[in-house]
Structure 1
Amino acid sequence: MTRLRRLATLALCTLLTATAGTACADHGDGGGDPSAPVRLLVFGAPEELAAYRTLADAYTRAHPDRTVQLVEAGDRKDLLARLSTSIAGGEPPELFLMNYRFYGQFAVKDAIEPLDDRITASDKIDPADYYPVAMNAFRWRGRQLCLPQNVSSLAVYYNRTLFEKYGVALPQPGWTWNDLLTTATAMTRDAAGGVIRGTESEGAAQRPAVHGVGIEPSIIRLAPFVWSNGGEIVDDPARPTRLTLDGPAAREALKNLVDLRLAYGVVPTDEEVESEDDESRFANGRLAMLLSSRRSTTTFRSITGFEWDVAPLPVYRQPAGILHSDAYCMTRGGRNKQAAWNFLEYAISADGQRIIAATGRTVPSHMAVANSPAFLGPAQPPRSAKVFLDAIPTVRALPTVSTWPEIEDVTSGILENALYRGDRLDDVIRQLDEQTRPLFARAEHPR
């Protein structure tokens, strides 16, 4: 609601109160005490949660009469469950932080407060200051439902010290999938430092002490390589009805991904991943490369035993990346909407984004902050932070249909079996199609 409209509404309410004794409800700011505590539902690794606490503390220092209470979920599924339960029970948190891939299920239930009027009235937020790809990911049927704090992309984290030890060339911009494979093979080493080639590790007396690369077998890891190879993940990004991994470009990218384990043995086995996840394995010096988003940076900044950096994704035919973006969303049922808006406005402003960027957690969605020393400064790793910014023109968003979280869950299990168990590619593609079509069929769309 613009200032002019708010003044007109106030004048009308004053007139109604004077002539009819009728009080007007507050539908502009959502009511509530602006100084009331704001509950913010988040999840993440301990280092990520510490970053959000830093932001909340800075807000309280700037506004001593205001407080933000972090409601910390254990993981993504816990966050979704808590949010669903609290909304159904009529006691949701005022704000929650969520990836664009998962908010559609709440948007379709009208559980998220649209922010357009507040944005228009704000003297702190100008939509033109933010990367459009992130802003657009949180538009639902013509309304801006959430405001993005970050615009990350997938990158290749690598152990620079380990590369230099073995004399292997560092990943460079423009490198190809074959370059990745060659590099990962050269970096897969036994305890004595010798190269383990192909699937020799299966029969070796000792499994690799260092694996060449770690990659999660999921649709969000596969997608950018399908796009880079000229293929598509779905038949229609705006209103998808099916996966299209049966196309030749998508099929090739999928085969190459599973061959990392099945043909070349450069990624850990499922048993190894269960005993030590890829992020921990990288931090412990037992994984040469890891494909991950910016969120891993907060964890890796605690590494003291070696130097690490980031490189862009390898390329098939053209550069392509996948959007990783989280946003602050306001619940319709929250008690203190004005207090929530006050914090949200601060959190995504230039001042707020500089604070959270300094923790390493985000690639700021605010363009000026992203291109400032707050993000690019060399004081803390990665030294090649600009890799994340260079990727932004190439990033694409996955569909935000209401059933996308279910689609990701179903596809993850099938892709895990493909990578670790060696299921036939034709069977994998058929299962992916058959098990997701019903989910697409009942999906609600953002446009």
Structure 2
Amino acid sequence: MKKNFLKKLAAGFLTSILLVGTIGCSNASDSANSNSSKNGKVELKIGTWAGAQELKEFQAIVDKLNKESKDYHLTIQSIPADYYKKIQTMAAAKQAPDLFWLSQEYIPMYAELGVIAPLDDYIKGNPKVNLNDYFEGPLQVGKVNGKLYGLPWINQPVMLYYNKTLFEKSGVELPKPDWTWEDFEKAAKALTKDTNHDGKVDQFGTVIDGWPPIATWVWTYGGEIIDKNGKVRIDEPEAIEGIKMLNKLINVDKVTPTKTQAQNTGGPEMFKTGKVAMFFGGAGDDFEKQVGNAFEIGMTKVPHAKTEATFSWIAHTVMSNNTKNKKVAAEALVDLTNAIHDWKILPPTKSDLEKVEKIRPDKKYAVDIIKESAKMARGFNNQKQQNELDNAIWQELYEPILLGKKSPEKAAKDAAEALRKILGQ
């Protein structure tokens, strides 16, 4: 789940080169997708980044839908590497798959460039779609200028994983669902130790190395980075209070390995090997399987200050604006998305949350707390320049805080100026 901001920025630049001036003026009649019929069914391609075992599981879903449908036949177009680069290239040539997956941060850009089509008219009245059943967070990121451009198939909130064995061995109180950042800080300090007495810390309370997102602190202190109206607010008092706590954990309390230490070994690996007591990971991460019997894992909600909030990794199924038969393509999109809710956790719908334990039995111990987090999980208020915005936040705020090169106030001010420049504010 961890973001690589520089790679995302490169993808954003590539998009600008390939798409601006070519996609916005396209229409269905220009499409290279003929949607030709086979046995009376409309032929549709579904683009996915799934590969290996995941692809086999996805193929089984598609095979079942093809067998049941009288209207369409789906063919998977697997792009396990350089997914967005290849999708963007195909879109520029008006050969994008009829349906494909998009992570939340790409939706505004693809929508405003005309690459993907709004779904409102095609899903209206469809008994298989209940928009009120979706959690607001995952549904909201698919909306651009009041129109819905995708249906979410996953809502994976960031959770706080912890090494229960290490906590108990150290005599530290176990994390609770109502933990504040001060509670987290206290535990992290108690669990940061030089266990072999060589003068160097070799066990840390947590790991912060560019992950989790800066919003983890900003939102829980009542702040915003960019609000729903696109206004930059990262330099407001509430946001700065969150950044101050982040800075304190890293540079004052020193409860996390340095950026270099963490990235050389890897935050998840440090948690799995008992070098880190608490880790911010996705609800669907498979730490339980990877850790095995090495230690007992616990899970709870992300700590909070003024309000409870957590970032969620959200992806949607979208429809190409160049697909010929949008009515049938939308029907397939709905069926496919609904079927994925039985496969991936967490489903973005309230009614499907009961499936979590069945889909992933290893999460049984944490099902209730995962459900609570799903209700408050959200994505960013994404903009069409989201890749540039993410990179500016990294360069002007997150990395300088990690390296102790800026105060929270200075970092917030510099980041706000950069964001406003990108957005023309």
Q: Is 2:422 the partner of 1:439? A: yes
Q: CA deviation at 1:417?
A: 2.1
Q: Identity across aligned pairs (percent)? A: 22
**Secondary structure at 1:274 match in 2:** helix
Q: For residues 215-234 of structure 1, what are the structure 2 equivalents within 5 Å?
A: 215-217=208-210, 221-234=213-226
* Counterpart pick for 1:260 among 243, 249, 254: 249
What residue in structure 1 maps to residue 85 of structure 2?
81
* Cα contact 2:209–2:259 (8 A) shared by 1: no
What residue in structure 1 maps to residue 343 of structure 2?
355
Give the Cα–Cα distance (whole angstroms) in 1 for the partners of residues 359 and 367 of structure 2.
8
Paired residue type of 2:57: T
Q: CA deviation at 1:392?
A: 4.0
Give the Cα–Cα distance (whole angstroms) in 2 for the partners of residues 343 and 279 of structure 1.
37
Q: For residues 61-210 of structure 1, what are the structure 2 equivalents within 5 Å?
A: 61=64, 63=66, 66-73=74-81, 78-120=82-124, 122-192=126-196, 205-208=199-202, 210=203
Structure 1 residues 385, 330: CA separation in 2 closer, same or farther (over 3 Å shift)? same
Aligned residues: 387
Say which one has the larger Rg: 1
Structure 1 residues 366, 288: CA separation in 2 closer, same or farther (over 3 Å shift)? same
What residue in structure 1 maps to residue 413 of structure 2?
430
Deviation by residue 1:48-99 (Cα, 9 ceiling, x = unmatched): x7445413323314535754232113xxxx4333322221122223333223
Structure 1 residues 335, 168: CA separation in 2 closer, same or farther (over 3 Å shift)? farther
* Cα contact 2:44–2:98 (8 A) shared by 1: no
**Secondary structure at 1:225 match in 2:** helix
Q: Is 2:416 the partner of 1:401? A: no
Q: CA deviation at 1:396?
A: 4.5
Q: Is 2:204 the partner of 1:211? A: yes
Deviation by residue 1:105-139 (Cα, 9 ceiling, x = unmatched): 11110111222233236443332332233223212
Q: Is 2:363 the partner of 1:381? A: yes
* Cα contact 2:388–2:422 (8 A) shared by 1: yes
**Secondary structure at 1:328 match in 2:** strand
Paired residue type of 2:200: Q
Give the Cα–Cα distance (whole angstroms) in 2 for the partners of residues 401 and 26 of structure 1.
28
Paired residue type of 1:405: N
Paired residue type of 1:120: K
Q: For residues 330-345 of structure 1, what are the structure 2 equivalents within 5 Å?
A: 330-334=319-323, 341=330, 343-345=332-334
What residue in structure 1 maps to residue 401 of structure 2?
418
* Cα contact 1:100–1:138 (8 A) shared by 2: yes
Give the Cα–Cα distance (whole angstroms) in 2 for the partners of residues 378 and 40 of structure 1.
25
Name whichever structure is richer in strand by fraction.
Answer: 2
What residue in structure 2 maps to residue 12 of structure 1?
none
* Cα contact 2:209–2:263 (8 A) shared by 1: no
Structure 1 residues 145, 159: CA separation in 2 closer, same or farther (over 3 Å shift)? same
Give the Cα–Cα distance (whole angstroms) in 1 for the partners of residues 30 and 410 of structure 2.
57
* Cα contact 1:53–1:70 (8 A) shared by 2: no
Q: CA deviation at 1:324?
A: 3.3
**Secondary structure at 1:206 match in 2:** coil
Q: Under a length normalisation based on structure 2, what TM-score does the superposition of the two structures give?
A: 0.80
Q: Is 2:271 the partner of 1:282? A: yes
Q: Is 2:320 the partner of 1:313? A: no
Structure 1 residues 111, 175: CA separation in 2 closer, same or farther (over 3 Å shift)? same
* Counterpart pick for 2:229 among 216, 231, 238: 238
Structure 1 residues 56, 294: CA separation in 2 closer, same or farther (over 3 Å shift)? farther
What residue in structure 1 maps to residue 48 of structure 2?
41
Stretches of structure 2 that go unaligned for 5 or more consecutive residues are: 1-28, 68-72
Paired residue type of 2:254: G
Structure 1 residues 216, 102: CA separation in 2 closer, same or farther (over 3 Å shift)? farther
* Cα contact 1:30–1:338 (8 A) shared by 2: no
Deviation by residue 1:222-243 (Cα, 9 ceiling, x = unmatched): 3243233233323x42232x2x
What residue in structure 1 maps to residue 20 of structure 2?
none
Give the Cα–Cα distance (whole angstroms) in 2 for the partners of residues 343 and 301 of structure 1.
34
Structure 1 residues 253, 98: CA separation in 2 closer, same or farther (over 3 Å shift)? same
* Cα contact 1:100–1:325 (8 A) shared by 2: yes
* Cα contact 1:348–1:366 (8 A) shared by 2: no
Stretches of structure 1 that go unaligned for 5 or more consecutive residues are: 1-24, 195-203, 357-361, 443-447
Q: Under a length normalisation based on structure 1, what TM-score does the superposition of the two structures give?
A: 0.76
* Counterpart pick for 1:325 among 298, 314, 317: 314
Give the Cα–Cα distance (whole angstroms) in 2 for the partners of residues 238 and 347 of structure 1.
32
User: CA-atom RMSD, angstroms?
Assistant: 3.2
* Cα contact 2:247–2:408 (8 A) shared by 1: no
* Cα contact 1:213–1:266 (8 A) shared by 2: yes
Give the Cα–Cα distance (whole angstroms) in 2 for the partners of residues 265 and 320 of structure 1.
24
Q: CA deviation at 1:338?
A: 7.0
Give the Cα–Cα distance (whole angstroms) in 2 for the partners of residues 407 and 36 of structure 1.
38
